A and B are shown apart, each in its own frame.
Chain A
Amino acid sequence: DQQVKQNSPSLSVQEGRISILNCDYTNSMFDYFLWYKKYPAEGPTFLISISSIKDKNEDGRFTVFLNKSAKHLSLHIVPSQPGDSAVYFCAASGENAGGTSYGKLTFGQGTILTVHP
Chain B
Amino acid sequence: KAGVTQTPRYLIKTRGQQVTLSCSPISGHRSVSWYQQTPGQGLQFLFEYFSETQRNKGNFPGRFSGRQFSNSRSEMNVSTLELGDSALYLCASSSQGQETQYFGPGTRLLVL
Residue contact A102 to B55, C-beta cutoff 8 Å? yes
Residues of B within 8 A of A102 (CB): 48, 50, 55-56
Residue contact B105 to A105, C-beta cutoff 8 Å? no
Given A42-B106, A43-B4, A102-B55: A107 touches B43 (CB 8 Å cut-off): yes
A63 interfacial by beta-carbon distance below 8 Å? no
Residue contact B50 to A41, C-beta cutoff 8 Å? no
Residues of B within 8 A of A101 (CB): 56, 99
Residues of B within 8 A of A94 (CB): 99
Residues of B within 8 A of A108 (CB): 42
Q: Which of A76-108 contact B (CB under 8 A)?
A: 89, 91, 93-94, 101-108
C-alpha gap A91/B102 in the complex (Å): 13
Which of B4, B45, B47 has the largest count of A CB atoms less than 10 A from its CB?
B45
- Of A12-20, A44-52, A66-74, the segment with at least 4 beta carbons within 8 Å of chain B is A44-52
Residues of B within 8 A of A104 (CB): 33, 45, 48, 56, 58
Which of A32, A34, A41, A103 has the largest count of B CB atoms less than 10 A from its CB?
A103
B101 interfacial by beta-carbon distance below 8 Å? yes
For the complex formed, measure the closest distance between the CB of B92 and the CB atoms of chain A, giving whole angstroms.
8
Residue contact A43 to B90, C-beta cutoff 8 Å? yes
C-alpha gap A43/B58 in the complex (Å): 19
For the complex formed, measure the closest distance between the CB of B107 and the CB atoms of chain A, giving whole angstroms.
10
For the complex formed, measure the closest distance between the CB of B86 and the CB atoms of chain A, giving whole angstroms.
13
For the complex formed, measure the closest distance between the CB of A30 and the CB atoms of chain B, giving whole angstroms.
10
Residue contact A43 to B106, C-beta cutoff 8 Å? yes
Top 4 nearest A-B pairs (CB, nearest first) are A103-B48, A43-B103, A102-B56, A107-B43
Chain A positions near chain B (C-beta within 8 angstroms): 32, 34, 36, 41-46, 49, 89, 91, 93-94, 101-110
Given known contacts A102-B55, A103-B48, what 13 new A-B pairs fall within 8 Å (CB)?
A34-B99, A34-B100, A43-B103, A43-B104, A43-B106, A49-B100, A101-B99, A103-B32, A103-B49, A103-B56, A104-B45, A104-B56, A107-B42
